[in-house]
Amino acid sequence: MPASWRYVLFLALAGLAAAPQAHAAASRADMETASVRMLPSGARIRFDAKHYPKLSLPGGRQEVVRSMLNIAKPMHFGDFVWDEDRVPAGAMWVRVDLARQILSVFRDGHEIGSAVILYGTDGKPTPTGGFTILEKNPDYYSHSYDAAMPYMLRLTKDGVAIHGSRVHEGWATHGCIGVPLGFARLLFAAAHKGDTVFILPAQS
């Protein structure tokens, strides 16, 4: 993997705290008023077509990366970046790195979004591997946990999903992947049923 790729990746992931512990349950109104920052993105980092890096993913799959977001500052809980300006149409896939608590969205090999996440701990771990989006629901409410899960993208039949959350240090989910509400809204609009989500383990 080229040094430039590693530099940008580590820069984008710098400053994250350890895995959260307290479970998060909040109303949609709480999420709307939570402290969330959409960070600016600098000029996109583009790779030479002869030397596109490849990301290794669960199941032995590899995906070519044509460009990445230029995230110049460390990301913290509640932060996200979204920039799809001049990114062509194409297949979309999502990479979730539990070890670094980062979710990245790619379209046609170009990274268009990145966010700090929450994930499951304490007996309700987030599953790892390759998944497809089974269902989309912008106004989902979990009666099991008495919690709003807006912009829900279901990944498993037993309810694991990506959804809007209050993303705070020290918090966790019951197995789902929680993302800032503004990011969840953008991801929901861009994603389709059948799109692939790769979740890497927390111990990597």
Residues 38-56 have pLDDT tens digits of: 666 667 999 999 999 999 9
Q: Containing domain of residue 23, as a range? A: 3-200
pLDDT of residue 26: 55
Name the residue with higher pLDDT: 201 or 1.
Answer: 201
CA-CA distance, 95 to 39, in Å (whole number)? 19
Q: Provide the pLDDT for residue 37.
A: 62
Number of domains observed in the structure of the chain: 1
Does 29 have pLDDT greater than 70? no
Please tell me the pTM assigned to this model.
Answer: 0.82
Amino acid at the residue 91? A
Does residue 110 register a pLDDT over 70?
yes
Q: Rounded distance, CA 126 to CA 178, Å?
A: 11
* Contacts of residue 172, Cβ cutoff 8 Å, sequence gap at least 6: 19, 20, 21, 22, 23, 24, 118, 119, 120, 121, 122
CATH number at residue 9: 2.40.440.10
Measured distance CA(75)–CA(79) in Å, rounded: 6
